């Protein structure tokens, strides 16, 4: 059945035409908030998560908003899964207008000299390889829609260094490099590629980093004690980048950190 639009939402909050998006890492704090925000705006959403169970709550909240939503479980680091994910969205909804590459992993809090090789490889696979695969397999479908938008969740770690977080920082620098390269390749195709760079957001990822730091007795230092952001702060910016309101933005990297990187 067609997606019903909540009449209480303003014109700025509702997409006038039916749109379809894929969101990876959909079971997490930021990914879940993005799915719900898009559902509020009338989008159909494919939730990419490790398992159906993990994404069940987000799926329920999207459908409660009268949005069409489906879960497509699997491993974002696998090329076949990414191909199948895009194919599923197009077959189920007839098109693809947005892709949010949001799956991410923090890794360990260790000095470079002590960092486990296998953890480094895992972080790079989840954060970088998955973004590469998402771009590779979604861009043809986004171009076919006549104006698709790809958004990657990077981090302020993409534009600064952080002691004891070498794998995470390196991976987010790489994500930003992929976004900038792909954006140039999309000029003239109708598709756009941009990134959001959140500072610390109150999510399970930040909680895990703080817990690791506490156990080490070595707190994570910040240039200035700006407040943590909320997942909804990121979701609002992602929704903007997916919308026609950002049609002149390509290759952009929007920092969301309450000013911490300028301190």
Over residues 191-213, the pLDDT tens digits come to: 999 999 998 887 767 667 767 76
**Do the beta carbons of residue 253 and residue 193 sit within 8 Å?**
no
- Can you list the domains of the chain with their CATH numbers? 17-262 (3.40.50.720)
pLDDT at 263: 79
Q: What is the pLDDT of residue 242?
A: 98
Question: What's the pTM value of the predicted model, to 2 decimals?
Answer: 0.89
Q: Is the pLDDT at 241 greater than 70, yes or no?
A: yes
Residue 58 has pLDDT above 60, yes or no: yes
User: Helices in 94-203 by DSSP H: which ranges?
Assistant: 117-124, 130-144, 166-186
Write the pLDDT tens digit of every residue in 99-147: 999 999 999 999 999 999 999 999 999 999 999 999 999 999 999 998 8
3-state secondary structure of 95: coil
- Read off the DSSP letter of residue 17: S
Number of neighbours of residue 138 by Cβ within 10 angstroms = 26
What is the distance between the alpha carbons of residues 199 and 206, in angstroms, rounded to a whole number?
10
pLDDT in tens, 1-54: 333 334 333 334 444 468 999 999 999 999 999 999 999 999 999 999 999 999
> Comparing C-alpha atoms, which of 173, 75, 74, 171 is closest to residue 123?
171
Distance (Å, whole) CA 189 – CA 244: 15
Report yes or no: 69 and 47 within 8 Å, Cβ to Cβ. Answer: yes
Q: Work out the pLDDT band at 222, boundaries 50, 70, 90.
A: low
Q: Is 168 a catalytic residue?
A: yes
């Amino acid at each position: 059945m067609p997606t019903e639009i909540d009449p209480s939402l303003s014109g700025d909050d509702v997409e006038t035409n039916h749109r379809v998006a894929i969101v990876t890492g959909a079971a997490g704090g930021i990914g879940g908030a993005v799915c719900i925000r898009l559902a509020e705006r009338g989008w159909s959403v494919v939730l990419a998560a490790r398992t159906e169970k993990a994404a069940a709550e987000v799926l329920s909240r999207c459908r409660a908003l009268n949005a069409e939503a489906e879960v497509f479980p699997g491993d974002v680091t696998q090329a076949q899964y990414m191909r199948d994910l895009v194919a599923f969205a197009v077959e189920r909804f007839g098109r693809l207008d947005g892709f949010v590459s949001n799956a991410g992993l923090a890794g360990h809090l260790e000095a470079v000299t002590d960092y486990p090789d296998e953890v480094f490889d895992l972080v790079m696979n989840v954060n970088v390889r998955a973004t590469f695969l998402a771009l590779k397999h979604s861009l043809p479908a986004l171009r076919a829609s006549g104006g698709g938008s790809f958004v990657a969740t990077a981090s302020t770690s993409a534009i600064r260094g952080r002691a004891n977080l070498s794998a995470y920082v390196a991976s987010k620098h790489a994500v930003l490099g992929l976004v900038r390269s792909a954006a140039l390749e999309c000029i003239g195709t109708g598709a756009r590629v941009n990134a959001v760079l959140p500072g610390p957001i109150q999510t399970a990822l930040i909680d895990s980093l703080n817990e690791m730091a506490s156990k080490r007795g070595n707190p994570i230092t910040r240039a200035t004690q700006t407040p943590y952001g909320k997942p909804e702060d990121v979701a609002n910016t992602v929704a903007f980048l997916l919308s026609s309101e950002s049609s002149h933005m390509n290759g952009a990297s929007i920092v969301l950190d309450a000013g911490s990187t300028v301190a």
